[in-house]
Amino acid sequence: MIVEALSALLSGTGYGTDVKRMYDDFAGPQRLGHLVAAIDVSRFVDPKEFALRATEFVSSITSVAPAEGHERVMVPGEAAIARQRQSEGIPLDESVIGELVALAGDLGVHDVPAMMR
């Protein structure tokens, strides 16, 4: 409720049933508000503890038995990331790429794909 209150009341837009369905009616405004916030986690909890708890939180969601006909439960954004990685590959830090190229050379593999150089 607090996110809806901040998103709608502060921006003067609709809340609850006053918000139109996003893609059904373009004849008028959807009355949809947004909230953008930046939170310094360290003001509340140790960032490492937050990261651990966030991982546990996501695991508590994804470990639920999926609905019939579905393979697994995913969190928002996970499907889009999976599609992007399927089409574009997994992004690697430049230092990791450098280590892989060096390791390949050490092992006598010199025909490293251009994308790895």
Q: Is residue 30 part of a domain?
A: yes
Q: Is residue 100 part of a domain?
A: no
Q: Is residue 17 part of a domain?
A: yes
Domain that holds residue 26: 1-37
pTM of the complete model beyond 0.75: no
Helix, strand and coil percent figures for the chain, each rounded to 5: 50, 0, 50
Number of domains in the chain: 1
CA distance 10 to 13: 8
Q: Is residue 58 part of a domain?
A: no
Each residue's pLDDT, cut to its tens digit, for the chain (117 residues) gives 888 889 899 989 988 888 877 777 778 778 888 889 999 999 999 999 999 999 999 999 999 999 999 999 999 999 999 999 999 888 889 899 889 989 998 999 888 877 665
Q: Is residue 33 part of a domain?
A: yes
Whether the CB-CB separation of 51 and 73 falls below 8 Å is answered with no
